[in-house]
Structure 1
């Protein structure tokens, strides 16, 4: 997270200025059908063998009264997705083998490749939310200068960053053991994510 965004986040948490309450953040959610994308193991990026990448287009309204990053943070936090950060998306392929991740676009636009070499490039814009099951490769291809993402993680799991072929063998064993989150980061306990990510 950039120093400026860290300071802004800290100031908002202390003062409450430009930061919605959890109920206000929930009121900014729009009902959206999930877009699901499944990717195969490409030899470097394993992806998830059972669960798809889920993308909600325009799921969150971002009114000028609130800092858009704070809206995403409050929404995700209310649904049990924490350890949030504000930044961009790395410009190299990486994935997490021991935890799921949500990415909420707070500002700007970007093209992001999901799934590695055999994946798909998606255009994302402010208000979109992508929920990545463990193992899902992601990489920023291009972005507007003002592009800002809020990332967060469910309570269970441990953050790691995998980037090399050497990570692959361990990751294919670890990924299936990462449990399903209790709530959808946008829609809570009744969210579409829980249907898309079915328990075995």
Structure 2
């Protein structure tokens, strides 16, 4: 047996870039992150600040969630209705009022064919809601006669009858409203993008 122990040479550590001063250095220890004790102190301080910021952010998120959870369902329904109505106005822009056809009204609403009070299950149904001038929607209580005739021309008798025969009650949940709101925010963004591209 030939004598002599094989001495394994330790791999030389690869050079690293110090995250604090950005200089390149060769670590003395396997887990060494920074180049010097001065940078180590700064790195430690930075880590503490980051942890504190993360804790504060988490605390703010929890507070916002608790605040949101405390709000009644009607709040989320109104928020969702606002986004949905904005989408309807954008979708029907330039078409004129569904009831009287006017295109230069002072203001336009998203007018429901069947009201949210009479058929809340159709509140967010696109077939049920169309651009309507404020005069027809408010002062003429929706001006339903001409609305129905023009709606048949727009979407067809079969779809209008489907709206009229839909009497299934529906109770919205917070999660469902969140989903509807997100969907119509996206659809609204897409329409606005199309308008910008066409301009």
Report which of the two structures shows the higher radius of gyration computed on alpha carbons. 2
TM-score over 0.5 (shorter chain): no
TM-score, normalised relative to structure 1: 0.26
Q: Which has the higher contact order (CA 8 A, sep 6+)?
A: 1
Higher helix share: 2
Higher strand share: 1
